[in-house]
Each structure stands twice: as structure tokens, then as C-alpha cells.
Amino acid sequence: MTVPRDFQEPPRSRPDLVIGREDLFTAAREQLGRGGSVLLHGPAGIGKSTILRALAADYGGSARTVLRCSATESESHLPFLALADLFGLVLDEVSGQLPAAQRTALESALTGRGESTLQRDGLALRLAVLSALRALAAGGPVLVVADDLQWLDAASAELLGFAARRLGDTPVQMLCAVRTEGQEYDRHLRASPPDTLAVRLGPLSRTQVSALLDHRGYTPLSRSTIRDIHRTSAGNPLFALELGRALAESPTRPRPGEPLPVPTSLRALVLSRLEMLSDEARRTLLVASAGARPTLALLHAAGREHAEAETAQAAALGLLATEAEGPAVRFAHPLISAALYAEAPAQERRAVHAALSTAASDPIERARHLALATTGTDPEVAARLAEAAALALDRGAPSVAASLGLLAARHTPADSVPGPDERRLQAAEDAITAGEADLARDIARDVLTRATVPAERVRAWMVVIEAAGQALGEVDAVFPQVLADAGDDPGLLALVHYQLAWRGLVVEGDFAEARQEAEHAAELAARGGDRRTELMALSFQASTETLMGHPGAPATVKRALREPQDPYVACHHNGAGSARFRWLIMSDRLPEARAVITALLREVRRRGMVESEVHFLRFLADTELRTGHCGRALDLARESLRLARDAGIGEGASAMLASLAEASAGDVDRALALAREAADHAEVDGDQMYLSRALAALGYAQLVAGDPAAAVRSLRRVRELEHGLGINDPARGRWHGDLAEALVRIGEPGEAQDLIDTTRAHALRLGRESVLAVLDRAEALVRAARGEHEAALVRLASVRDRLGRLGYGLEEARAAFALARLRDRASAPPRTGGTPLPGPASYDEAARLFRRCRALPWLRQVDAAVAGGSTAVEPASVAPPVALDALEGLASMERQVASLVMEGATNREIAARLFISVKTVEATLTRVYRKLGIRSRVDIVRLAAGRRTN
């Protein structure tokens, strides 16, 4: 018998569940599949019931019987209510199989026709529940689904716990959810079957909250608003959805600097305890809710004389978190603070801000509170806010600067100089720097509805174009309008032609047109006296010429680096420093490239330039990948991708580089998925330049995955795209060797040789030594395919040494691997009666080099070659990479330090390579020893050799 239930169709909320819960859901489903039980726990609103329903829908079909109960707080005093929900529909089926005493006790408890109690019928009732479950299980598996265990009546909870502990091998599983704070699930776990898996649901990340809101249709919300929702909800999905719904339905958005409006549905959840506070304590908490970083000292300075006693009273009620030490006043949940502020009358809020405008020590905070305490326009308040915005920008907080700039605009009289719209545009430009493109675009379009001054209109159009990112095709219609607004002003035209250069590259896919537009923009900017735009245009021209293989690239780089420099341009991801980095890395000057990009990354982090940070993390990851530090490259690439997804900028480019890093040091399946994601981004944006990069990453991942035919298809398309783009420098994408190798593998050595010859001509002209070495490696494979084994062996040995000298660690390891495989095949007994080639055929060197690089996917290929080959090798090289497995439990920095020790690096050398102090290296090694259960560097070296330590 199957009990009718509402779990048979997939729940409509299923898409919500997988957002941020994929791993937890999979673990719970696998536990149920193994015959175990699951206990979901976490705070209110965290999504337990949603996952419970979805798991029941997924797994319930395999159970013959599903028993369900869902308790409520208002009914928790009614004895045996949950028991009646569970067994009411199956009582007739099981009652005949129970002993008389048990049947009587159970029927009395479920029907209320009697006075059954745990005190009088305790043993009979306990045994009756156990017997009923066993009887049901005799006919097939039973699934007990219980939601909100915390509200289960005490009698039902006791009976279920008794049975659960004694079910043994009976095919009865429990799927339960309980509201907990911290680790309070222990007593519920003790009342569950012994094989129960406890799954705690934690808060969602900002990216996951954004995806959840987007799925529910709350798409008009800006990223800055989503950031506020995430902070206020603390990642709780129910709270986030309620806040998002309230904002989406509200005709007006909160003013800059104000907390989010909290809907009535959430206020009731958090404000009930406020009624137990005294009026004075409530006013003190209101001051704390309005402060950015409230402390007892700040509360005193704002006039709250009895702050200690009043905050202690609030902490006792659970409104404030109790701090063991430190002066901070912290709310138990951010929603309490937001609800308290939203509940207060506007006049009372202004009074609180007025008090804080003199009490706060930080000038930025004082200005913000002054603005929120002031109604109407006030030139003095506006000026103080503008000064505070400039200070915030200088401190590296452009998001704060944008918020303060909008407040300044609101308080600026219409006839002031600068005017309100000029201040709004400055706020929009600060929002661009902070990575809040949607906020910037909204501000600029608002200004365009009023602005008549050409300079303001062009400036606003520039923000709209910048906010489009790589999707310049979406704003293509803007360019005729902005050219008309610019008139014949060379300074304004320079801004337009700089963006037209980007359009030529991204939308038209024409490097020659892009270069000409950038050159023209630089000339116009010089005539107009706009040094910043001149430098940006020169930097763009230099980067374009570098990618084209244009002979003028070095000279243009030098022009872009001439004084006077602009600090913003110097560290911008499209500025002069970035252009120099591209030229260095394509010229095989890897140590200099690393130094340049490391310094740039440090500076943009100091300035809070989010988009530049995304790109520079990617550039540094690319550098580390080329030098063979694949583990560090993977960490950096993942960090870039996380930041890109969080900010909504540079996602395609970061996914592309993350794909390359995953294929080299991580998970090849993930590499394939990321490359396809990057290609999709580029296709949607109409960005042919990054489409070719994404397809090159896809081809590389396909080659590593052992699918050369797919790699050929992807990389042939890259060749077509780059030919159309006018890209002639093979150092730009470095895909040519991969395509040649894949062509050899599918039996097309002739096409491979043609590709090598064509590419070599460009590489020789430009002096790309590493590209030439990789092409020689590919040509050796062509020769081997044609039977020229001796020549191929000589060429591969030379290539390996050349790549090692140039510092391309991963490419060196690939050459060593190709050499070992060729020797392996050549040393095997020939099928045609010839003689095998002399010389050792060992994979030791390739394994050592790949291990040094932490190139795990390539190491697996070495293991497969050893296992499938005919050559005897040393046990240490045949053994699985014990060291790498052991390092997986370490933190990122610990893994890097341990890997370098395995290579034989000293502490000082490790410090230099990782840009940390020797003391940090020593402290990190101490943690490594403790975690690995070893005593010294010698033990790490033993791990590297695949031997056990004592």
C-alpha cells in the first residue's frame, strides 16, 4: 500500500533548492539511497522545508509507504497529534498484526476514544509504534517524513525516538527537519536511527542570493541593492526573498545611506521581543542600528548615558550578540537592526542621525549622518558630503564614495556649481570603479533625461557605454547620439573615439579599425588637453598592436608610459601598466611580467577598483600557469571567477582562464564546463575576441580530456576567428601547438605541418621563443607520425631544455612527457621486423616535472601511460602521487609551501616566489607538519617520493 501524499509531483520550488544547495542535496539523496536517514537542521527560513519536500519527492517514489507529519507551534501541546498524522491512514492496515494490548493502546492514542497516556500505557504504546513500523516495512520500504521536529508534541517525539533507536535493519528511513541555532540538533539526532546523517543548512552567499532573487523574477534590483539584501538577510533565503519582494513592489527605493525597508512579514519575526524593552533601551538600540560600527563609546557620545545597562538588557533578550571581549555592539541578526530602524518614525530617525553626526569620529560617517539628519537642499551639507566622497575614494572605498556622492547631489541646490547632476555623474563614475555597473547606468540615464550641457551629456553617455562591459553591441545605437552631443570639441570627441576603438574590437572584430580609432582618440585628447584619455587611448593602441604583432607596439608602449602619468590610468586594467604587462608576457619575460602584475594587483585592491582586480587576478593566474605554478594559478583563477560572478563583470574572461587552470591543475570536467560557459558569454555579448580565447581554452581542455577530434573542431574555429580578427601574434592565445598535436593524434600530420610552418613564420618575425619551442615540440610529433623517430627524439630533448631555460614549466613537462611516450613506443618490439631504438624509456622525468607543477590531470595521464605501457619503471614513479593526495587536506598557502619544499626550495626561495616573509614560511611549515603528522622537511621529501614516513 502507498499512502496518498502530496509529494508525488516534483515541487514547484525545486529550482530554488538547487541554488547554493547542490552539494547538500546530493549528499542527502545519496544517504537515502544507501538506506540511511537524514536530519536537516538550521535556523528559521534557511530552506529546510523546501529541501525536505524535494528530497521526499525524489526518494519517496522508491518507498512503498510514506508517512508524513508537519507540526506547528500552536498545536505542540496536543498529545499524540503527530502520531495521528503519521499512522492515521494506515491504522487499519497494521492493527490486525499487533498484539491486543498494543493495538488497544495505539487505537486509543490515535482516535482519542479513551484516555491513553504515556504514564499509563507507556510500554504498550512504545512497542505498538515499533511493531506498526515493522509491519509496514514487511510489505516494502517505509519513509517517515517529519518537518519542524521542534514543534512535535512531547508524547509523539518520545514514541518516535524509541522506535527509531530500535529499528535495526528494518527498511524504515526517516527524513526530518528541525529548527536549530548553532549545534542544538544533538538531542534530535539521539532520537533518530543510528545511521542518520545530520545536514546543516547555512547561509547563502551573495551570488547565490542574487541567483535566487533572479529566479523569483526580482530582476530590476541593482547589484548594490542585492549586496544590501544579502547583508540584511545574512544569507537567509526566506528573509532575502521577503526583502526582495518588498523592494520590487515598492514604488520608491531607499535613499542612499538608508537601510532597506523591512516588510511587515519580517518585522513580526524579529520585533516581538522589543516590546519587553524599556523605552530608553529601545532608543539606545535605535542609535546602534543607525551607526555603521556602533560601540559603547559611540552610544555614550550620542547621549545614551546608560548604554551598558540598556545593551545588557537587549542582550539578555537575544537582540544583541554577547561579545566576550571588545567594545562593539552587534545585533544578533542584521534583520533586527534593519527592522528596528524601519519601525522608527522619520523624525526620530533624523534626531538619531543628528546626534551621530557629532558623535562619530570618522569624517565620512559624520557627513553621512549629517545628510540623513537634513531635509531639503543645503550647499554646506552637500560640500561636506562631496569632500567625504573624495576621501572614501582615496581610501579605496568607491562604493561608499558613490553613495555619498548621491547624497551630496540630493542636498545640492539646482543653481550651485558644481550642480546636482555633475555630482551624480561623479557618483556614477565611482560606481563603475566599484564594479556596480547597473547602479552607474541608472544614474547616467537619469541625468540624460535632464542634461542639456554637451559635456554632461557626453560624460553620461560614457558611463552608459562603460556599464555595458563586453556587451557593447547592446549600446550600439548610443554612438550616433553621443557623437552629435560632442560636436567639434576635441576633448569630448576623444572620449567618444576611445569607446569607438573598443567597439571596433569587440563588436566588429577588427583590430586594424580598433587601432586606428585609438590612435585618433589619443591625438584628439592631446589637442583637448585631456591627459587621462590620451593615456588610456595610447594604452589601448599599444595592447592592440601587441596582439596584432604590429612592429610599432614597443614604441607605443613607451609613449603610454611617458610622464606625466595619471595614477588612475597607471593601474587601470586597460591602462599603461596593463599594456606593459601584455607586452612582457608575450615577449617571454615572465619574471618581469609577474612583478608588474603583482604590483598592479596590490594597487587596485588598495583603491577598491573591483573590475581591475578581477582582471589582474586573471592576469596573475595566467602568468603562474605559464611558469608552471599550476596549483597557485588554479587558486588565483578561482578567486577571479568568484569575484567576477559576485560583481557581475568580466565573468566570461575569468571563466576562460579558470578553464585553462582547471584543465592543468584541477578537474577536467569542470574545465570543459567553464570553457563552454565562457564561450556562451562571448556569443551572447557578440564578443569575437573573447570567443576565440574561450574556444582555445575549450580545445585545450578537450585535448587534456583525451578527445583530440573535439579539440581539432574547437581550435580550427579559433584559427578562423583570429584570421578574421587580424591577430597575427601566436603568443596571444598560444593554441597553435595544441591544434597541431590534436591533428597528429587524429591522423592529419600534413595539416599539422602546414599550421606549424605558417605560425613559425610569424613567431620568427616577432621573436616569440617559447612559441617556437612549442611548435618544435609539435613538429617532433609530426615527424614521429611519419616514422622519423630518431629525429623526433632529438628534437623533443632539445625542446624540453629550451622551455626549461625560458621558465615555461608546464610546457617543459609536456615536452618531457612526449619524449617519454615516444621512447616507450620506440623501445617496444617492432611489428615490421625492424630493430627497436636504443635508450631509456622512463616516465620518471615527466612525472617529476608535472608533480613540481602540481599538474594533476597531466600526472594522471603519466600514470595511465605507465600502467598501459611495456616499459619497466621505478616503483616510485609508478606509484600514485601520494604526496599530492596528502596535500589535498591543506589550505591553499600550506599546499603551495609544501609543494615548493618537495621541489627542494629553501625557505628563503619559497618566500621570494610566494611574495611572503621567511617567518610566514616557517609558521606555515609548522602547520603543515602538524596536519600531515610529520616532523620535518625530510618527511615532506619522502612524501614527494611516494614513500611512507615513520
pTM of the model: 0.69
Only one residue has cell 506547528, namely 72
Residue 528 C-alpha cell reads as 583637448
Question: pLDDT tens across 203-220, in order?
Answer: 888 888 888 888 887 766
Only one residue has cell 600530420, namely 749
> What is the pLDDT, as a whole number, of residue 426?
96
Weakest-pLDDT range from 86-100, 499-513, 673-687, 830-844? 830-844
Q: Provide the pairing of β-strand 37-42 with 172-179.
A: parallel
Q: Note the helical H segments in 264-397.
A: 264-271, 279-290, 296-301, 307-316, 334-343, 346-359, 363-373, 379-394
| Partner residues linked to 68 by β-bridges | 145
**Going along 835-911, which residue ranges are E strands?**
none
Is the backbone peptide bond immediately before 454 cis, with ω within 30 degrees of 0?
no
Residue 210 C-alpha cell reads as 542574487
For residues 573 and 569, what is the distance between their CA atoms, to the nearest angstrom?
8
Average pLDDT over every residue of 629-647 = 90
> What is the pLDDT, as a whole number, of residue 485?
95
For residues 643 and 67, what is the distance between their CA atoms, to the nearest angstrom?
45
Contacts of 369 (CB under 8 A, 6+ apart): 290, 353, 354, 356, 357, 360
The arrangement of strands across the sheet holding 172-179 comes to 65-70, 142-147, 172-179, 37-42, 196-200
Q: Cα dist. 134→127, 420, 426, 734 in Å?
A: 10, 76, 72, 66
| Dihedral over Cα of 857, 861, 864, 866: its sign | negative
Q: In percent, how much of the chain has pLDDT > 90?
A: 45
Q: Cα dist. 217→242, 249, 370, 389 in Å?
A: 13, 12, 36, 33
Return mean pLDDT, the chain.
85
CB 291 within 8 A of CB 327: no
Weakest-pLDDT range from 647-651, 687-691, 867-871? 867-871
Question: pLDDT tens across 86-127, in order?
Answer: 888 888 888 888 888 888 888 888 876 555 555 566 788 889
CB 507 within 8 A of CB 471: no
Indicate the Cα dihedral angle 102, 108, 114, 119, nearest 10°: 60
Helix (H, G, I), strand (E, B) or coil at 318: coil
Residue 916 C-alpha cell reads as 611572503
Among 71-75, 397-401, 809-813, the range with the most confident prediction by mean pLDDT is: 809-813
Higher pLDDT, 478 or 105: 478
- The closest of 429, 456, 450, 449 to 440, measured between CA atoms, is 429
Residue 931 C-alpha cell reads as 596536519
How many Cβ atoms sit within 10 Å of the Cβ of residue 919? 10
pLDDT at 13 exceeding the cut of 70: no
> What is the pLDDT, as a whole number, of residue 912?
63
Residue 851 C-alpha cell reads as 608533480
Average pLDDT over every residue of 596-618 = 93
Contacts of 925 (CB under 8 A, 6+ apart): 897, 898, 901, 907, 937
Question: pLDDT tens across 67-88, in order?
Answer: 998 888 877 778 888 888 888 8
Average pLDDT over every residue of 542-566 = 88
Q: Classify residue 823 as exposed, middle or buried by CB count within 10 Å of its CB (0-12, 13-18, 19+).
A: buried
Weakest-pLDDT range from 486-495, 557-566, 746-755, 804-813? 557-566
Question: pLDDT tens across 792-810, in order?
Answer: 999 999 999 999 999 999 9
End-to-end Cα separation, the chain, in angstroms: 59
Among 39-43, 394-398, 608-612, 634-638, the range with the most confident prediction by mean pLDDT is: 634-638
Q: Classify residue 614 as exposed, middle or buried by CB count within 10 Å of its CB (0-12, 13-18, 19+).
A: buried
> What is the pLDDT, as a whole number, of residue 892?
62
Question: Residue 182: which pLDDT band, with cuts at 50, 70 and 90?
Answer: low
Residue 879 C-alpha cell reads as 606509484
Helix (H, G, I), strand (E, B) or coil at 680: helix
| Partner residues linked to 65 by β-bridges | 142
> What is the pLDDT, as a whole number, of residue 112?
65
Average pLDDT over every residue of 420-444 = 92
Among 44-53, 461-470, 733-742, the range with the most confident prediction by mean pLDDT is: 733-742
